[in-house]
C-alpha cells in the first residue's frame, strides 16, 4: 500500500471512529418487585393527599423512563444507519473515476511498450556513433548518423504521443483526487457534530450519576415507609429524567444533522 492509500485509509477510519458514540449506561432506575412492594406499603401508610401524589409521580416516572428507552432505540437506529451509509459512501469515494484511471494507466503502459523497441534502437545507434567517433572512423560515424536521422522524427513523434497520454493520465488523477478531497472535506463536517454529541453524553452521564444517588435515597425511603422523602425523591427523579430526555432529543437531532451531511456529500458524487 502506497503512502497516499495509507493516508486515505486512515482518514476514512478517523471519520468512522468519530461517528461511534460513547456508550451511555441505562438509567439506574429499575422497579423490582421488592421496590414496588416497599412503595405500595408507603402509599398504604401515607395520607390520602400524599398517596395520590406518590401514585401520580410514580406513573409520571414510568412514562418518562419509557421515553428514555424510546430515545435510545431511535438514536441507535439512526446512528447505525448513518454509520452504514458512511462506510458505503467512503468506499464509493475511494472508487471515483477508478475505471477510467485504470484504463488510462493501461494505455500509458501499452504506448510505452509500443515504442520501447524504437527507443532502444535509437539509443543503440547513438552509442554506436560515439564508438565510431572514438575510433575516428568518419565512414562509420556518417553511416550511423544517417540511420539516426532516419528515425529521429519517429522518435520525436513517439515521445510526444507518450507525453500526451501521460499528461492525460496525470490530469485525470489530479481531477479524481480533487473530487475526493472535496467530498472528504464535506464529511469532515461530521467531526464537530460528534463533539457536540460527546458533550451531550457527558451531560447525560452526570445526570445519571445524580439519579443513582437519588434512586438509592428513594429506595431507602420506600423501605422505611417515609412518604415525604419518597415524594421528594420521585420529583427529583422525574426532573433529572426529563433533563436526560432533553439531552437525548438533542443527540437525535445531531444524528439527523450527520444524516444530512452524508446525504449532501452523496449528492455531490460524480
Condensed to tens digits (0 to 9), the pLDDT of residues 45-58 reads 999 999 999 999 99
Q: Which residue, among 195, 154, 255, has the nearest Cα to 18 in the 3D structure?
A: 195
Other Cβ atoms closer than 10 A to 39: 22
- What value does the mean pLDDT take over residues 178-206? 96
C-alpha torsion sign, points 249, 255, 260, 263: negative
Residue 2's pLDDT is what?
A: 45
The predicted pLDDT at position 21 comes to 46
Number of neighbours of residue 197 by Cβ within 10 angstroms: 25
- Whether residue 91 has pLDDT greater than 70: yes
DSSP H or E stretch at residue 106: helix 98-114
Name the pTM for this structure.
Answer: 0.78
Are 111 and 165 in contact by the 8 Å Cβ rule? The answer is: yes
Q: Are 250 and 71 in contact (CB under 8 A)?
A: no
How far out from the chain centre does Cα 128 lie?
Answer: 61
Instruction: Tell me what the mean pLDDT of segment 79-104 comes to.
Output: 96
The DSSP secondary-structure symbol of 1 reads -
Under 8 Å between Cβ of 255 and 19: no
pLDDT in tens, 115-150: 999 999 999 998 998 998 898 889 888 988 999 899
Tell me the C-alpha distance between 103 and 90, whole Å: 22
Alpha helix ranges (H) inside 115-270? 116-134, 138-187, 190-223, 227-267
- Domain residue ranges in the chain: 3-267
Tell me which residue has cell 463536517: 189
What pLDDT score was predicted for residue 139? 87
Amino acid at each position: 500500500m502506497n503512502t497516499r492509500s495509507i493516508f486515505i485509509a486512515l482518514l476514512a477510519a478517523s471519520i468512522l471512529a468519530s461517528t461511534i458514540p460513547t456508550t451511555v449506561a441505562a438509567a439506574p432506575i429499575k422497579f423490582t418487585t421488592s421496590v414496588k412492594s416497599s412503595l405500595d406499603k408507603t402509599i398504604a401508610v401515607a395520607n390520602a393527599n400524599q398517596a395520590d401524589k406518590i401514585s401520580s409521580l410514580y406513573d409520571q416516572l414510568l412514562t418518562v423512563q419509557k421515553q428514555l428507552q424510546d430515545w435510545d432505540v431511535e438514536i441507535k437506529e439512526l446512528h447505525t444507519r448513518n454509520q452504514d451509509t458512511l462506510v458505503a459512501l467512503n468506499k464509493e469515494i475511494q472508487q471515483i473515476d477508478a475505471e477510467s484511471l485504470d484504463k488510462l494507466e493501461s494505455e500509458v503502459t501499452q504506448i510505452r511498450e509500443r515504442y520501447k523497441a524504437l527507443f532502444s534502437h535509437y539509443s543503440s545507434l547513438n552509442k554506436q556513433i560515439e564508438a565510431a567517433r572514438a575510433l575516428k572512423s568518419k565512414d562509420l560515424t556518417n553511416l550511423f548518423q544517417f540511420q539516426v536521422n532516419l528515425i529521429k522524427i519517429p522518435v520525436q513523434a513517439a515521445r510526444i504521443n507518450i507525453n500526451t497520454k501521460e499528461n492525460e493520465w496525470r490530469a485525470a488523477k489530479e481531477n479524481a483526487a480533487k473530487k475526493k478531497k472535496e467530498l472528504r472535506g464535506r464529511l469532515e463536517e461530521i467531526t464537530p457534530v460528534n463533539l457536540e454529541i460527546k458533550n451531550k453524553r457527558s451531560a447525560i452521564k452526570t445526570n445519571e450519576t445524580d439519579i443513582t444517588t437519588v434512586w438509592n435515597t428513594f429506595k431507602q425511603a420506600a423501605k422505611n415507609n417515609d412518604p415525604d422523602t419518597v415524594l421528594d425523591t420521585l420529583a427529583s427523579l422525574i426532573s433529572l429524567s426529563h433533563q436526560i430526555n432533553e439531552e437525548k432529543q438533542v443527540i437525535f437531532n445531531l444524528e439527523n444533522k450527520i444524516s444530512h451531511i452524508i446525504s449532501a456529500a452523496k449528492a455531490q458524487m460524480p
